[in-house]
């Protein structure tokens, strides 16, 4: 039975890394002693070791040991033998490129479908959708494809935000960008605000965190209230 937390952001304003999510992470990883961390998204170019240390520090209070996938000889086996998985945020192009380079997609998909608890934040959430075409990240590397896990039948826009009222900026808003995407792609998009996450348990997909999300379909959008079961959207 699928068991995932897909968060918009690793951090929210005014608290430490992952702090706001820890009670939910504790439940997700119930009974798990060691989590496999995938640091490939490397936010700000941080090293895999430093990123893994940062996650370990956040998980110390949960009594969970964190090991980076880069510390294993065989990455595919590391996923096959994992008790729990965490894919952290950063650059989605980088993350997706590495998952293609090491041929890890089918291993991740199998693990998730077998019920291995999966935590994604930001880029780690994006890759659970159909493709990465609605990321906000810069295309710093060219992956061979934009297709991702497709565990949910839609896409994400993490860190979703509306423009500031009275903004004088003319660069495209998120909504405009997603409209451009939907002019070419028949895929719905969940705009997930910082502080929100999807809790997938079996076939249910609840919106958690107390904030509304925005659901983009066919070039239009509507608000999704907190606690909605998004499998019905």
Closer residue to a copy of itself (CB): 2 or 137: 137
132 near a copy of itself (CB under 8 A):
yes
Closer residue to a copy of itself (CB): 181 or 197: 181
| C-alpha span between 224 and 207 (Å, rounded) | 8
Cβ contacts of 55 within 8 Å, gap of 6 or more: 18, 37, 39, 66, 86, 88
Q: Determine which one of 9, 11, 122, 188 is catalytic.
A: 122
Phi, psi at 209, each rounded to 5°? 110, -5
Look up 122 and say whether it is catalytic: yes
30 near a copy of itself (CB under 8 A):
no
Q: What is the DSSP letter of 131?
A: B
145 near a copy of itself (CB under 8 A):
yes
Closer residue to a copy of itself (CB): 72 or 146: 146
How far apart, in Å, are the Cα atoms of 179 and each of 184, 218, 223? 9, 8, 16
Q: Determine which one of 9, 137, 188, 196 is catalytic.
A: 137
DSSP-derived 3-state class of residue 177: helix
134 near a copy of itself (CB under 8 A):
yes
Residues in the chain: 233
94 near a copy of itself (CB under 8 A):
yes
105 near a copy of itself (CB under 8 A):
no
| C-alpha span between 39 and 51 (Å, rounded) | 6
How far apart, in Å, are the Cα atoms of 121 and each of 21, 124, 159, 182, 192? 10, 5, 10, 24, 11
Site string (49-88) toward a copy of itself, x via CB under 8 A: ----------------------------------------
**Which residues does the annotation mark as catalytic?**
122, 137, 159
> What residues line the site for a copy of itself (CB under 8 A)?
9-14, 42-45, 90-91, 93-94, 132-142, 145-146, 158-159, 161, 164, 168-172, 176-185, 194, 219
């Amino acid at each position: 039975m699928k068991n995932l937390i897909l968060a918009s952001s690793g951090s929210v304003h005014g608290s430490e890394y992952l702090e706001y999510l820890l009670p939910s992470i504790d439940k997700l990883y119930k009974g798990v002693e060691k989590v496999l961390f995938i640091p490939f998204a490397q936010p700000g170019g941080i090293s895999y070791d430093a990123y893994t240390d940062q996650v370990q520090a956040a998980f110390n209070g949960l009594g969970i040991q964190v090991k980076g996938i880069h510390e294993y000889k065989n990455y595919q086996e590391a996923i096959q033998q994992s008790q729990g998985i965490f894919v952290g945020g950063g650059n989605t192009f980088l993350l997706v490129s590495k998952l293609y380079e090491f041929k890890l997609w089918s291993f991740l998909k199998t693990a998730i479908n077998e019920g291995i608890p999966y935590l994604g934040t930001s880029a780690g959430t994006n890759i659970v959708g159909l493709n990465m075409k609605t990321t906000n990240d810069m295309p710093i590397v060219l992956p061979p494809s934009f297709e991702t896990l497709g565990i949910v039948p839609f896409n994400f826009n993490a860190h979703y935000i509306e423009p500031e009222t009275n903004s004088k900026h003319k660069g495209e808003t998120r909504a405009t960008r997603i409209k451009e995407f939907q002019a070419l792609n028949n895929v719905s998009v969940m705009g997930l605000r910082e502080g929100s996450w999807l809790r997938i348990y079996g076939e249910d997909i609840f919106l958690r965190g107390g904030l509304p999300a925005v659901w983009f379909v066919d070039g239009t959008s509507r608000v999704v209230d907190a606690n909605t079961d998004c499998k019905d959207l």
